[in-house]
Structure 1
Amino acid sequence: MADSTASASITHANNVPQDNAASTSTATVNEAAHFAKTSRGRDFWLSFSAIVVTNLLSALDLTAIATILPTLTADLNGGDEFTWVGSAYALSSTAILPLIGGLADSFGRKPVMVCCVVLFAIGSALAASAQNMHWMIGARTVQGLGGGGIQTLTNIITSDLVPLSERGAYQGVIGLTVALASGIGPPIGGALAEKASWRWLFYMNLPLCGISLALLVFFLKVRTPPGTIKEKLSKIDWIGNLIIISGTTLAMVGLSWGGARFPWTDAHVLAPLILGLVIIVIFCLFEVYVAKNPTVPLRVLANRTTASGYATSAVHGITSISIIYYLPIYFQAVLGASPIRSGVDFLATALLITPFALICGIVVKVTKKYRPINYAGWVMMTAGFGLLSLLRANSNVAHWIGYQILVSAGIGIVFSSTIFPVLAPLPVSLTASALSFFNFVRAFTETWGITISSTILQNQLKKNLPTAFTSQFPEGSEIAYAAIPAIPKLPEPLQTEVKVAFAASMSVIWKTMIGFSGLGLLLLLFMKEIPMSETADDKFGLDISEKETVVQLTTLVSGELESKTQKSADARAIV
């Protein structure tokens, strides 16, 4: 399209009177310069590759943790604190997200992305050397600060490089990296837990972080906004970010403790949860009425299509994280699979999430519509969780592989599709704020998903596990999660009774997710089909220097003019 536009302008320039040459030349220069900046050349592909590899690093760690969790919990004597290994990462990665958008707008995408990778590396080193569960939780908190920023900036930089109307395939590639991580993460984690040590899951992040940093430093060429450090710092909504970080942290602490460490009616749960939610409401009021440079501009939430996109993303966060975290537990506790085997069994899910995430992006790019593919994804998820709820202790291979297919396809589709209704109604200048809040919503609700599923599992295990099993542990069913590796060694019929109890308990998780998936389907009724933007934000994007742009411009214009002149001369010669 860019080539034809430039050629049309040049052809027009050859046919206008001489006194209009200056204005026509200016128009031609502008259009050719636009072509030079938006063409998919070497700089674009190197920049895009750098952020994709970095995003894969973050996603791989998040998905691999599920299969090492029982072994890690037992090794560090974690007990009922096992949920914090996932929740600490989710808490910090969620709380930092609103701030990431402001920092990226003020200081530029590249410096903030580099800092996030460094934080992720530090957290990985700390996690690899953890000697107790508190140490591990602290390390995962640091990791989350970097990991959350990496995932958000990946989407923001992609939005800077590619207009929304063309972003489907590229968004599909982003989804593909997360889906790929979902596929290879569990087997890698399981192999390390069984054959080496779970610590190597974190150690291997260090050289990968080095590769990511090299790619970012040398190949990510995006523009950085001008201004002094003081000017850039003054543009950030520090008070608003402090409020939302405080509220998010308190709410997520309450969620993590509820049903796992304390009963839901306990003050240790209710106090931080209620206080956190109240502070989040205060944040919303502050952003609307007080903040000069709001972290989340009101316009981001004012459109019903954008709001429905955020809402469906929230529901997707709850449902998708439940299967990533708890389906491997079914394989280990019920089927008696080793960590490696549970990772292999999970491939039936991961290998379908991968292509459907990419297919979704391509479909949106080709059709220029996002509503139909959203409907398809949510229908698949609802039906798929219904099938998963039928899994029992004696389910055969065809059942637990086949039942994963539908839900996995739906998860892959919705993962890529929700971003389009969020951004379609908004001006491109709000992309960073909108995407930061988008990732905040998804990450915050993923914590709800982990907590909801964990609470269901613990409460159901209390009711279903035989006393002969729970009486072996001082903390009863609370320690049962860490005892999963010991289940295959139990004598019969106790072993079968424990497996039946786990299968029945996990069935309740999947039934709950049927309800959430149905809610996601209903929320699509508020979503309108809005034409997607054809342009990206000129303030950011590829950092093509003025000299480089002029060279491309001169080559393009002179080549077209020479061709036109030669054709005219040939025509005159024939005549």
Structure 2
Amino acid sequence: MTHPALPSPTTRPLLAFAMLVVVLVLAALDQTILSTALPAIAHDLPGTLPLAWVFSAYLLAATVVIALYGRLADVLGRKPMLLLAIALFLLGSLACGASQTLAQLVMARALQGAGGGGLLTLTMLTVASLFPPEQRGRYQSMLGASYGVATMFGPLLGGWLVEHVSWHWAFWINVPLALLAWLVLARTTPRSPRQAASIDGWGAATLTLALVATLLATQHGKLQLPAWLSLGVLLAVAAKAGAAFVWRQFRAGHPLVPPGLFRHPAYTATAAIGLCSGVAMYAAVVFVPQYLQTMLHLSPTASAWHLLPLMAGITAAAVTSGKLLRAQVAARRLAGVGSALLLLSFLALALSLAWAPASAPLISACLLPAGMGLGLLFPIVTVVSQRSSPPQFMGIATATPVMLRSLGGSLGVALMAGLLGTRMADGLQAVFACASLAALAALLCSRWLAPLASAPQRAPGANSVA
């Protein structure tokens, strides 16, 4: 008999899924909503920190915690980690809106990122708790579509709030919605079993150090770091910490990222596709608006509208990908089509700059295949990574490609920014050529995707995943 205060068993998963969409949309909005609100923030808040820290603090915290959330979800359960991530994001949003100095805002953004970084992985994992395997592709694709739409409308919403209300509401708008989602998900999501395993503290520490040093290196110029913290120092620290992390994972009894996961060719392929898709996505999202604003003198809002084909493609293709996966269309074929569309898009962008560099509509239209390719790939990476890993490692198996996608985007933007040079049109052609190589690499990796099949129920050991 159903408790009168709770939704019925048939509506409970759908209500929980609706709240997952809400928190994922909020996390996506906060990655881009400040792009049009930053001038107003700079005018209102005193402080000497570079404004780039407002973005970078969120990015650093969000990227660093992804793998840790995934492993903690395996050990402690998905529900408590999801509720913790929402709570941190809510508290961070409150603190951001109440900030009185730039330094306070940067620290609040780090707290917000510590919550927001876990939401993408944890919402995907919670879908696996709510729906049977044959339905997960559909709902994973809907999450991906929601994320794409929210990313697109972040700058537009930020501009509207600054113009008509206040920049504070770019953060406070999260509070009632996140609180509602927390309350509903606390009542409607099932608990997953805990594991008798410990967390690899040394592995988490070395991975955190490697990621922080890498991300600081990618934004070294923007952040105006101290002279002693040079690019060479950061890269050396990142390399040594990364090597220490890999060494630790092969020797730890309960590694943070079990190396055995990568013995499955399909999982290795999804991780590589996640990395390549991050490079491609950020190449479009970062450099196309930069070109439209710098060379064609469009406003930030107008340049954001020209990304509409990209986001429309992501939305439509993500939904389609979920339906095709449910219809048992081979993941290898879908990933191949998605990667080919990405490759076609960046080749078309490079040609458009050569033939019609002043045509913003043409550049905008060339983004449509990229959006369709990314939309096809996003659900595939999630579904295949979950199906190719044992249940006891599903959290970290889902989180790792997400972390690599974020890291690939940051590294790709930093490396490709050096190609712009003094003549932006020529430099941007080189950027799109590099993005084409990333798409080609994803296309090659897609050949290693095996047909979807249930993962083994047991693994021989933490370091030997079948």
> Would the alpha carbon gap of residues 375 and 293 (structure 1) be closer, same or farther in structure 2, given more than 3 Å must change?
same
Aligned to 1:142: 111
Of 490, 512, 527, 2:434 maps to: 512
Q: Take 2:431 and 2:172, find their aligned partners in 1: how far apart are those partners?
A: 33
Q: Does 1:415 align with 2:372?
A: no
Whole-Å separation in 2 of the counterparts to 1:47 and 1:105: 20
Per-residue deviation at 1:82?
A: 4.6
Measure how far apart 1:533 and its partner are. Answer: 1.8
**In 1: Cα distance, 2:134 partner to 2:455 partner:** 5
Task: Confirm whether residue 159 of structure 1 aligns to residue 128 of structure 2.
Answer: yes
What amino acid sits opposite 2:174 in the alignment?
A: N
- 1:242 to 1:67, Cα distance in 2 relative to 1, 3 A: same
Could you tell me which amino acid in structure 2 is paired with residue 279 of structure 1?
A
Partner of 2:366: 403
Percent sequence identity over aligned pairs: 26
Q: TM-score, normalised by structure 1?
A: 0.71
Q: Distance in 2 between matches of 1:366 and 1:113?
A: 30
Change (3 A) 1:532 1:85: farther
Per-residue deviation, 1:274: 1.9
Q: 2:450: which partner in 1? A: 529
Distance in 2, matches of 1:213 and 1:316, equals 31
Alignment of 1:214-363 (within 5 A): 214-220=183-189, 222-225=190-193, 235-257=198-220, 261=224, 268-289=230-251, 291-363=252-324
Give TM-score scaled by structure 2 length: 0.86
1:371 corresponds in structure 2 to: 332
Question: 2 CA distance for matches of 1:79 and 1:415?
Answer: 39
Contact 1:116 1:147 in 2 (8 A): yes
Which residue is 2:159 aligned to?
Answer: 190
In structure 1, what residue type is equivalent to 2:207? I
Q: CA deviation at 1:168?
A: 1.5
Give a deviation string over 1:539-560, Cα, whole Å, max 9, x none.
xxxxxxxxxxxxxxxxxxxxxx
Quote the Cα distance in structure 2 between the aligned partners of 1:528 and 1:117: 33
| CA positional deviation for 1:520 | 1.8
1:126 and 2:87 equivalent?
no
SS in 2 for 1:41: coil
Work out whether residues 332 and 451 of structure 2, in 8 Å CA contact, stay in contact via their aligned partners in 1: no
Corresponding residue SS for 2:137: helix
1:238-264 CA distance string (max 9 Å, x none): 23212211222122222221687479x
Q: Which residue of the partner structure matches residue 149 of structure 2?
A: 180
Deviation, 1:322, is: 2.7
Q: Distance in 2 between matches of 1:84 and 1:536?
A: 44
Distance 2:105 2:418 in 1: 22
User: Is the contact made by 2:74 and 2:194 (CA closer than 8 Å) also made in structure 1?
Assistant: no
Amino acid paired to 1:354: T
Residues 419 and 430 of structure 2 are in contact (CA less than 8 Å); yes or no, is this contact kept in structure 1?
yes
CA–CA distance in 2 between the matches of 1:361 and 1:124?
32
* Contact map agreement 2:289 2:303 (CA 8 A) in 1: yes
SS at match of 2:389: coil
Query: Hey, what's the Cα distance between the residues in 1 that align with 2:282 and 2:416?
Result: 9
User: 2: distance between equivalents of 1:103 and 1:424?
Assistant: 19
User: d(CA) in 1 for partners of 2:235 and 2:51?
Assistant: 20
Q: Which amino acid aligns with 1:183?
A: M
Residue type matched to 2:315 in 1? T
SS of alignment partner, residue 367 of structure 1: coil
User: What is the CA–CA distance in structure 2 between the aligned matches of 1:427 and 1:182, rounded to whole Å?
Assistant: 32
Q: 1:147 to 1:189 in 2, by over 3 A?
A: same
Partners of 1:266 and 1:358 lie apart in 2 by: 49
Distance 1:71 1:535, change over 3 A: farther
CA gap of 1:68–1:505, structure 2 versus 1, over 3 A, is: farther
Decide whether aligned partners of structure 1 residues 80 and 370 sit closer, same or farther in structure 2, where only a CA change above 3 A counts: farther
For each residue in 1:339-369, what CA deviation from the matched residue of structure 2 results, as whole angstroms up to 9, or x when unmatched?
A: 3333333222212211111111111111242
Q: Deviations over 1:129-174 (max 9, x none)?
A: 4455544332222111101111111111112333444322111111
1:417 alignment partner AA: I
Q: Distance in 1 between matches of 2:54 and 2:278?
A: 18
Q: What is the distance in 2 between the residues matched to 1:50 and 1:387?
A: 38
Greater CA radius of gyration, 1 or 2? 1
- Contact kept, 8 Å, 1:300 with 1:426, in 2: the verdict is yes
Change (3 A) 1:194 1:520: farther
TM-superposed deviation, 1:419: 2.4
Matched, 1:447 2:416: no
Q: Gaps spanning 5+ residues in structure 2: where? A: 1-7, 459-466
CA, structure 1 residues 528+325, in 2 after alignment: closer, same or farther (shift >3 Å)? closer
Q: Cα gap change, 1:196/1:307 in structure 2, threshold over 3 Å: closer, same or farther? A: same
Q: Is the 8 A contact 2:210 2:241 kept in 1?
A: yes
2:390, 2:457 within 8 Å by CA — same for their partners in 1? Answer: no
Taking a change above 3 Å as real, the CA distance of residues 170 and 154 of structure 1, as seen in their structure-2 partners, is same
- 2:269·2:449 contact (CA, 8 Å) conserved in 1? no
Distance 1:399 1:195, change over 3 A: farther
Q: Which amino acid aligns with 2:284?
A: I
**Structure 1 residues 528 and 210 mapped into 2: Cα distance closer, same or farther (>3 Å)?**
closer
Counterpart residue number, 1:28:
none
Count, aligned residues: 449
